[in-house]
Structure 1
Amino acid sequence: MTDITTVQPLLAPVGLGDLRLPNRVVMAPVTRARAGDGLVPTELHAVYYGQRASAGLIVTEGTWVGERAIGFPKVPGVYSAEQVAAWRRVTDVVHALGGRIVVQLWHAGAAAPGELSAADIRDVVADFASAAVRAREAGFDGVEVHAVGAFLLPRFLNARTNARTDGYRGGRLLFEVVDAVGAVWGAGRVGVRVSPYWAEGEGFVPDQSTVDAYEEYAAGLGARRLAYLHVRGPELSGAAPDPADFARYRRAFGGPLIANLGFDRESGNAIVQAGAADAVSYATHYIANPDLVARFAWGREPAVGDPATYYQGGAEGYVDYPGTRWP
């Protein structure tokens, strides 16, 4: 009998730094805007993440590292005692169900890089370090640093949006944040998510210079022997993701890579089989498919979510999708 992991390498176990995963199907961070008063997670969060505990690894929605980091309402934080206690409920449920969960640490950054003083930058690093401590108290298995999109850390990484001349042009702030978080957790439980192909917002152009710069950042992160690099790929128009878009960063990083954006079961298995990624993360699929790993194993088509409920709050479209069922 053929081993299912030969046909579907996504279902094979893998080590990402100090994290040991039973499969390579990762739940990507997805903002769902369900936090309660004080940006505290609710019991719905425990249900939502518990339902998806069969993922090889859960990466939570982006989570504010401090009050100065907040960019949107109803997005939870991990900086207050009340938030930590609520997240502890979530991690306890996920662990009781056999899962592994890391929290994504997010700073929206209201100001442009050139508007931040040296003291402001020190505050940013301190907020990430403090949130990393809180994340340990909340029982997470590790942390992921949010450096995606057009928010604070990516704006420092992009030469078009960062004209500083004091050494904070390029990867310095990201490296300082990662080093501060790693001092709390150990590098083997720290991941970083980046988006070298991001094209939304003034100055974000995924041209060759940007792609090359991110190779340098990946190499710098790799020297720190982190758990993984999580790469958001290019936007696609119906085409399958190209493994080459990820392989270059896996080579530069020199460690485990999680590929993200536009993958289904077939393309996810293909990129792992090709050696361009060690795991694949799924965002939209995990909204409507808490049993995504089982669906992949059975060869079932994933259910489709309702976009009208993605951010509306409440249980509808959040915890009421069907769980694992026999085909």
Structure 2
Amino acid sequence: MLDNSLLTDLFAPSRFGDIATANRIVMAPITRSRYGEDGVPGQLHATYYAQRASAGLIVSEAVNISAQGRGYAATPGIWNDAQVDGWKQVTDAVRAAGGKIVCQLWHVGRYSSVELQPDGAAPVAPSAIRAEGDTYTTAGFVPVSTPRALETEEIAGIIAQYVHAAQNALRAGFDGVEVHSANCYLLDQFLRDSTNQRTDRYGGAIENRVRLMLEVTAAVVAIWGSARVGIRLSPASPDVGNTPLDSNVMATYGHLIRELNGFELAYLHVVEGATGGSRDVPADIDLDALRALFAGPYIGNNNYDLELAIARRAAGKIDGVAFGRPFIANPDLVERLRHGKPLTVAPRASYYNGGATGYTDWPVAGV
């Protein structure tokens, strides 16, 4: 069997900012919905992540920064001490297995239900525009609720939630953090003019719509240092709630990326196309042109296989490649790719909920 490590440097040591990695393969954030209502990780989750620690870098599943930021039942948090202690168990297990892991900081914004919000409050968003679709609660799937628009004076409180979560991620032993600014969640909602109809300093012109994302990034960098902070974007994805794209993706995200360069971040992580779907994008969007604007390491994400990863790495389009669904059923994905071993395909029924079955019971291939 041909050793694919001879064809590419994807399997060679690398680094993203101050995070040194054994290879350029990244485990993408994958929500698996296997937590209790307290959002506290335990031994099951430590085992799951440690099994996948041969990835050069693990980006944790999206982690709620606050009770307000929560939009789905059975997802983890990092706003209280019990959650911090649980994540410490996870990071210790990953480190013992030789891996690196960063915490993805998540606020869903409008994509939530009053059934998930503290005291049954309305979800918050840049504008009171309801998303399409359903979300998951302990009672099953329910329609998402109409959000209320955040008052200008409340924005500082949102930034404080990110600060608190970033501090907790540091206490929990992560190697860094990723600011989740993709998939039409809160920060992306502020960025897109399709979901942001504000008239204050956080709405209207591009310079205003990028403001919250930049302020959050600055606040998180102040805690972690820029070289241990990454950010995730999805310029061409209509992901949750069938959210329309920004009316001028190239101008909006181009301006954002130029501003992000000032932070000298560890990496930019981009969903290339529709999250979990097609890599095709509208004719007026050039994701490679946006990538070229970023001055630091770039992680490509979305429907990659080894052939595409090798080709885009050889062309200088990516510095790292993120795999999501292949890591579900292939905890040893890096070695399978390196040695050309076949990949197991997880049935969709195993993606969410449950315990160890379909989560930590996948076999390794052996080399």
Q: TM-score, with normalisation over the residues of structure 2?
A: 0.83
Please point out which of 93, 112, 118 is paired with 2:125. Answer: 112
Please point out which of 198, 213, 216 is paired with 2:255. Answer: 216
Q: Do the aligned residues in 2 keep the contact of 1:216 with 1:252 (CA within 8 Å)?
A: no
Identity score, percent: 43
Q: Which amino acid aligns with 2:172?
A: A
Unaligned runs of 5+ in 2: 110-122, 128-148, 204-208
Cα deviations by residue, 1:267-321 (Å, 9 ceiling, x for unpaired): 0111111101100000000111110110011011211012102112211110011
1:11-90 maps to which residues of 2 (within 5 A)?
A: 11-90=11-90
1:247-286 maps to which residues of 2 (within 5 A)?
A: 247-286=288-327
C-alpha distance in structure 2 between counterparts of 1:245 and 1:31, whole Å: 28
Q: Do the aligned residues in 2 keep the contact of 1:51 with 1:323 (CA within 8 Å)?
A: no
SS of the residue aligned with 1:67? coil
Q: How many residues align?
A: 321
Q: Which amino acid aligns with 1:127?
A: Q
Structure number having the greater helix percentage: 1
C-alpha distance in structure 1 between counterparts of 2:16 and 2:286, whole Å: 20
Q: Do the aligned residues in 1 keep the contact of 2:3 with 2:338 (CA within 8 Å)?
A: no
CA offset at residue 166 of structure 1?
1.7
Q: Please provide the CA RMSD for this pair.
A: 2.0
Cα deviations by residue, 1:193-219 (Å, 9 ceiling, x for unpaired): 010011244552366x11331121111
Indicate whether 1:153 and 2:187 are aligned. Answer: yes
Q: Which amino acid aligns with 1:228?
A: Y
C-alpha distance in structure 2 between counterparts of 1:265 and 1:17, whole Å: 24
Q: Which runs of 4+ in 1 moved over 3 A?
A: 2-6, 200-203, 235-239
C-alpha distance in structure 2 between counterparts of 1:128 and 1:205, whole Å: 25
- Quote the residue 1:163 is aligned against: 197
CA offset at residue 232 of structure 1?
0.3
Query: Residues 319 and 119 of structure 1: is their aligned pair in 2 closer, same or farther, counting only changes over 3 Å?
Result: same
C-alpha distance in structure 1 between counterparts of 2:152 and 2:189, whole Å: 16
- Quote the residue 2:156 is aligned against: 122
Indicate whether 1:316 and 2:353 are aligned. Answer: no
Unaligned runs of 5+ in 1: none
Indicate whether 1:132 and 2:166 are aligned. Answer: yes
SS of the residue aligned with 1:325? coil
- Quote the residue 1:294 is aligned against: 335
C-alpha distance in structure 2 between counterparts of 1:125 and 1:218, whole Å: 20
Q: Do the aligned residues in 1 keep the contact of 2:194 with 2:246 (CA within 8 Å)?
A: no
Q: Do the aligned residues in 2 keep the contact of 1:102 with 1:144 (CA within 8 Å)?
A: yes
CA offset at residue 4 of structure 1?
5.8
Cα deviations by residue, 1:100-127 (Å, 9 ceiling, x for unpaired): 0000000011223031012321111000
Indicate whether 1:205 and 2:218 are aligned. Answer: no
Query: Residues 75 and 93 of structure 1: is their aligned pair in 2 closer, same or farther, counting only changes over 3 Å?
Result: same
C-alpha distance in structure 1 between counterparts of 2:197 and 2:327, whole Å: 38
- Quote the residue 2:175 is aligned against: 141
Q: Do the aligned residues in 1 keep the contact of 2:227 with 2:264 (CA within 8 Å)?
A: yes
Q: Do the aligned residues in 2 keep the contact of 1:101 with 1:141 (CA within 8 Å)?
A: yes
- Quote the residue 2:8 is aligned against: 8
Query: Residues 238 and 148 of structure 1: is their aligned pair in 2 closer, same or farther, counting only changes over 3 Å?
Result: closer
Q: Which amino acid aligns with 2:160?
A: A
C-alpha distance in structure 2 between counterparts of 1:77 and 1:270, whole Å: 37
Q: TM-score, with normalisation over the residues of structure 1?
A: 0.93
